[in-house]
């Protein structure tokens, strides 16, 4: 138990440090990413997924680590995605970055964190109503691309290609729209 706490703390410190250095805790840079002016943060996020997905194939081959697939609910995941996007576009923070940005000393992030605690409390209160209403009826289970493509290796390759093309596309489109990713 206490080993887990130290591991969590250590991982969090490293994670918070890196996302600050990548600019992801800066709501100004996040807004400019959403407005298609700066391409760095979305490319950083997508490349991190590509590299992690490749690394995870290696971890699993050597039998190390633990995975957990979150179920796909057509309605609940979809509605949550739309709402989350609206909140993210409005404040420029996501749940993880609020902690790191609050640690930086950004007052607006401290208010985002407080709002997040309030949103969590309200959801916990209505969990028993919303989960049976929105999540359960359209729950498709713990599906992955490996189920669709029949093989984890092919599925991982498809993910790498699609994300790779997206990273390239973001570079081109954001560059065309803004005046370059780096100023």
Partner 1 sequence: MQKNQLSASYWKWVPAAFALAGIILFVFATFGPPASSSGFVAALKGAIEPLAPGYVESKAHYRMSAGPGAWVFAFVLGMAIGGFLAARTFSIPVRDIPEIWEKRFGNSRIKRYAATFAGGFIILFASRLAGGCTLGLFISGSTQLAVSGLYFGVLIFAFAMLTARFVYGKAGKEEK
> Packing angle between helix 27-34 and helix 40-61, nearest 10 degrees?
90
Compute the distance between CA of residue 104 and CA of residue 139 in angstroms, rounded to an integer. Answer: 39
* The one among 136, 137, 140, 172 contacting partner 1 by CB under 8 A: 140
Q: Say whether residue 174 binds partner 1 (CB under 8 A).
A: no
Closest CB 151 distance from partner 1, rounded Å? 11
Q: Which is nearer to partner 1, 17 or 165 (CB)?
A: 17
Q: Say whether residue 155 binds partner 1 (CB under 8 A).
A: yes
Q: Which of residues 10-29 bind partner 1 (CB under 8 A)?
A: 10-23, 25-28
Q: Are 24 and 30 in contact (CB under 8 A)?
A: yes
Q: Which is nearer to partner 1, 144 or 172 (CB)?
A: 144
* The one among 137, 138, 144, 173 contacting partner 1 by CB under 8 A: 144
Cα(first)–Cα(last) distance of the chain, in Å? 46
Compute the distance between CA of residue 24 and CA of residue 19 in angstroms, rounded to an integer. Answer: 5
Q: Say whether residue 175 binds partner 1 (CB under 8 A).
A: no
Q: Say whether residue 142 binds partner 1 (CB under 8 A).
A: yes
Q: Say whether residue 151 binds partner 1 (CB under 8 A).
A: no
Q: Residue 68: left (phi > 0), alpha (psi -120 to 50), or beta? A: beta
Q: Which of residues 93-122 bind partner 1 (CB under 8 A)?
A: 93-109, 111-122
Compute the distance between CA of residue 104 and CA of residue 113 in angstroms, rounded to an integer. Answer: 13
């Amino acid at each position: 138990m206490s080993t887990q706490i130290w591991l969590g703390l250590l991982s969090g410190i490293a994670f918070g440090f890196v996302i600050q250095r990548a600019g992801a805790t800066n709501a100004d840079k996040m807004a400019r990413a959403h407005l298609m002016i700066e391409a760095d943060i979305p490319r950083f996020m997508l490349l991190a997924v590509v590299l992690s997905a490749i690394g995870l194939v290696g971890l699993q081959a050597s039998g190390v680590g633990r995975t957990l697939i979150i179920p796909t609910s057509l309605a609940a995941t979809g509605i949550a995605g739309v709402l989350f996007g609206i909140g993210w576009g409005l404040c420029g923070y996501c749940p993880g970055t609020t902690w790191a940005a609050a640690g930086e000393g950004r007052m607006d992030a401290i208010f985002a964190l407080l709002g997040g605690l309030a949103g969590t409390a309200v959801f916990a209160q209505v969990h028993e109503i919303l989960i049976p209403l929105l999540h359960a009826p359209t729950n498709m289970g713990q599906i992955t691309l490996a189920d669709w493509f029949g093989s984890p290796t092919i599925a991982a390759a498809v993910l790498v290609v699609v994300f790779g093309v997206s990273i390239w596309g973001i570079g081109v489109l954001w560059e065309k729209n803004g005046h370059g990713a780096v100023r």
